[in-house]
A and B are shown apart, each in its own frame.
Chain A
Amino acid sequence: GEDVEQSLFLSVREGDSSVINCTYTDSSSTYLYWYKQEPGAGLQLLTYIFSNMDMKQDQRLTVLLNKKDKHLSLRIADTQTGDSAIYFCAETLGNTGGFKTIFGAGTRLFVKA
């Protein structure tokens, strides 16, 4: 089925690293995404990775992709209280009608000062 799976909660201390994990469904997905949602707001694209890459680094963010296991992770280094939000993993699925983007349930990250 079409299911992107994530754990629902993660709690870390300020300054520690956070690792948010995701498993996706379609091995043919060419792009995988991480979105961030702050309270009362819509989602905002954080980063994405092309499927022929294993890793992408962007400042404090590191994305790791394991295509064999269909596993995606987002690591946030030196986590700050401002990183508290819901993080969504997403993939784009192809079908006869074109393709569409589906999301996981989101991981709520709590950062303790």
Chain B
Amino acid sequence: GAGVSQSPSNKVTEKGKDVELRCDPISGHTALYWYRQSLGQGLEFLIYFQGNSAPDKSGLPSDRFSAERTGGSVSTLTIQRTQQEDSAVYLCASSDRIGTNEKLFFGSGTQLSVL
């Protein structure tokens, strides 16, 4: 596709339910990131993938959060047993790394609201 695509754009769920957020990166981009942006807060790093592997999962807030990437392309971020504090915009970005220069291309995000 022309850019990074995220779905859904908005998700409203009840506390305790599981949600899946999807990211379609730019074709051929090897690196893929998930960030979280809470109201009035900056960008919180969650996890990144190089190909299908995740060298750094240190940003995942708890074991309720998990992510996978298949075929070096689409990624899914899963939040189990959602809590109200999980409400935020979840942003995905992909990058075609050239050496240590990493230019990130972002999707428009998924606005998650946990009631």
Binding site for B on A (CB under 8 A): 30-31, 33, 35, 40-45, 48, 50, 88, 90, 92, 94-95, 97-106
Contacts and interface: CB of A to CB of B under 8 A. Distances in A.
B108 A41 contact: yes
Contacts, number: 64
B56 A95 contact: yes
A105 B42 contact: yes
B42 A88 contact: yes
Interface string B75-109: 00000000000000001010100011111111111
Interface of B: 4, 33, 35, 41-43, 45, 48, 50, 55-56, 91, 93, 95, 99-109
A98 B31 CA distance: 11
Given A42-B4, A43-B93, A95-B56, A101 B104 contact: yes
Contacts of A45: 103-105
Contact of B55 (A88, A97, A102): A97
Contact of A42 (B48, B101, B108): B108
Given A92-B102, A99-B102, A42 B91 contact: yes
Contact of A104 (B42, B55, B93, B108): B42
